[in-house]
Amino acid sequence: MSLTIIGTVAFDAIETPFGKTDKIIGGAATYASLSASYFTKKINLVGVVGDDFPKETIEMFQKHGINTEGLQIKQGEKSFFWAGKYHNDMNTRDTLATELNVLANFDPIIPESYQNTEYLMLGNLTPTIQRTVVERLRKRPKLILMDTMNFWMDTAWDELMKTLKLVDVLSINDEEARQLAKEYSLVKAARKILTMGPKVLVIKKGEHGALLFNQTQVFFAPALPLEDVFDPTGAGDTFAGGFIGYLAKTGDISFENMKNAVIYGSAMASLCVEKFGTERLQNLQINEIENRIREFIDLVQFEITLS
């Protein structure tokens, strides 16, 4: 079933303890679309780039089954650019540069062929732009997933609250959940966030895995213990893309199936961080993903029989 993904398509410059890159392809929608492309080939991308963005990358998107009709190319303008440096623990980073460029005046266009999309992922952007996309779809999708970040909680609280009311699933990290709910306990935070609009909440905890909550149930997926995390950039977007890609593939949005989606999302994220940027996501084999899923099963499976 068709999946529309909106978010940044951009350049990143990344420095980790393992090395540094010049400008490479990045952005939330880039990671999410590539990740989802291993589950469905009906992906609609909504975003904006400048004329500095490589044609080959757009062709690479298309080869992955990603429709780029909704990716605006602004002549004479530059793509969004972010530069960051990760600390030794790989969990914290400093932003070295943020150049909004084309993003400053981004007005998302929904091509006619994107109407009737059944799954929608609102990648991290201003909550106002995210809401605009929902409003521009004539038919409400079967499932809307939203990603956001602490920056919008600090600067656009009221807009964020309005957009939250429109979504089914919210995907944020543990610190963002605490800030959004003003609760330290993640269980209490989840309960509070589930009164703000979303019916399902995913809390991403990086190397500590991910939690999935609805009103009455909770599910936990670990992160795979990796020898080295090479570059964590895009891991959260890759997770979300794999999560909603799996839901779109199976067409089943029950909580039980969302558990599987969390495992697939975690597997995709664990693959993504093994190389810089999107390198790993561009060239995955299905059996690599399946082997990763088997590792997750082995990691958490136990047999206790209670009387």
Q: How far apart are CA 185 and CA 140, in angstroms?
A: 33
- Token readout for 200 is 């399902």
Q: Does 104 bind a second copy (CB under 8 A)?
A: no
H/E element, 71:
strand 66-74
H/E element, 279:
helix 279-282
Given the rule CB under 8 A, which of 33-41, 50-58, 131-139, 216-224 is the region that contacts a second copy? 216-224
| Interface positions, 76-95, toward a second copy (CB under 8 A) | 88-89
Q: Does 130 bind a second copy (CB under 8 A)?
A: no
Q: Could you say which of 51, 128, 187, 252 contacts a second copy (CB under 8 A)? A: 187
Q: Does 158 bind a second copy (CB under 8 A)?
A: no
Residue among 199 and 259 whose Cβ is closer to a second copy: 259
Residue of 35, 11, 60, 52 lying closest to 272 (CA atoms) = 35
- CA-to-CA dists, residue 202 to 76, 84, 221, angstroms: 39, 25, 11
H/E element, 146:
strand 143-147
In angstroms, give the least distance from the CB of 238 to a second copy. 18
Quote the crossing angle between the two packed helices 235-250 and 28-36, to the nearest 10°: 40
Q: Does 293 bind a second copy (CB under 8 A)?
A: yes
Given the rule CB under 8 A, which of 34-42, 221-229, 235-243, 271-279 is the region that contacts a second copy? 221-229
Residue of 167, 233, 168 lying closest to 206 (CA atoms) = 233
In angstroms, give the least distance from the CB of 263 to a second copy. 6
Q: Could you say which of 217, 251, 252, 254 contacts a second copy (CB under 8 A)? A: 217
Q: Which residues contact a second copy (rule: CB under 8 A)?
A: 88-89, 184-188, 205, 208-209, 211, 217-222, 225-228, 256, 259-260, 262-264, 290, 293-294, 297-304, 306-307
